[in-house]
Amino acid sequence: MASLAQLTNELEPELARQVFTHSSWAPERTLSYERLEFLGDSVLGLCISTDIYSRYPEYNEGELAKVRAYVVSRHTCAKVGEQLDLSRKLIEAAKQADAANITSLAANANVLAAMVEALIGALYLQFGMEVVLGAVLEVFNEHIEYAASEHIDFKTELQEEAARRNLEVNYEVVAVEGPPHSRMFTSEVSIGGRVMGSGRGRTKKVSQQGAAKEALNALRVRGEADS
């Protein structure tokens, strides 16, 4: 599978020119990256939505929306732009523009984020959704996992739910698979000495969040049955 960086280097010259043309020096605004940014915003949203829909079957609509909102945010896209070194590409493309202005633009997080979306839009036009989907998910994967583990805190919810019932919560990593650079952790959570949930993820934290989510659902179902 080709990475986003590799695909960027294979962009057709006209698409590449447009991706790295800011509206401040474009001969016409429609020749800047803004139209591609518009398209790429939708493509990125669909890529992330498709992935998290299947990756987190236990999440409800609101939880999925929280994860997606973080992953497609300007903040996250700007980080990806830094990773792809898009600032340098913008500076190289702006040969006749004011040097001081270009340096300022290239360091602007909003510009970086916009270029990421424009790049995704251009890659979609040239290579199609199947190719773009894999490349996008590869570079955004760590941000998806971070959003799932940090922005949706099932562990805290479970701790509070268990405390109301005077039950103790314990987590245990029961399996670690894969090579060092691509570990997959499996965790289980016990409530009152009984295993109530399990989860998998590329970090212990993500696997524990999955286990907590499963246990939280089981605990609530049991509570409804007891009531």
Domain ranges for the chain, please list them: 4-150, 154-226
For the chain, give the longest Cα–Cα distance: 73
Nearest to 63, CA basis, from 74, 72, 53, 77: 53
Model confidence at 224, pLDDT cuts 50, 70, 90, reads: very low
Contacts of 227 (CB under 8 A, 6+ apart): none
From 37, 51, 117, 145, active-site residue:
117
Model confidence at 99, pLDDT cuts 50, 70, 90, reads: low
CATH number of 154-226: 3.30.160.20
Separation of alpha carbons 107 and 97, rounded Å = 15
Query: What is the pLDDT at residue 227?
Result: 41
Q: In the sheet where 184-191 sits, what is the strand order? A: 169-177, 184-191, 194-201
pLDDT single digits (tens) 35-48: 999 999 999 999 99
pLDDT single digits (tens) 167-180: 999 999 999 999 98
In terms of pTM, does the model score above 0.85? no
Q: Residue 226 pLDDT more than 60? A: no
Nearest to 78, CA basis, from 51, 101, 106, 103: 106
Percent of the chain scoring above 90 in pLDDT: 59
Model confidence at 6, pLDDT cuts 50, 70, 90, reads: very high
85: left (phi over 0), alpha (psi -120 to 50) or beta: left
pLDDT single digits (tens) 111-155: 999 999 999 999 999 999 999 999 999 999 999 988 987 777 889
Separation of alpha carbons 51 and 213, rounded Å = 18
pLDDT single digits (tens) 21-33: 888 777 787 778 9
From 10, 14, 28, 41, active-site residue:
41
Model confidence at 199, pLDDT cuts 50, 70, 90, reads: very high
Residue 153 falls in the annotated catalytic set: no
Domain spanning 4-150: which CATH class is it, in words?
mainly alpha
Residue 41 falls in the annotated catalytic set: yes
Separation of alpha carbons 148 and 142, rounded Å = 10
Question: In terms of C-beta distances under 8 Å and separation of at least 24 residues, what long-range contacts does 29-37 make, across chains too?
Answer: 33/114, 33/115, 33/118, 34/114, 34/118, 35/121, 36/117, 36/118, 36/119, 36/121, 36/122, 36/125, 37/114, 37/115, 37/117, 37/118, 37/121
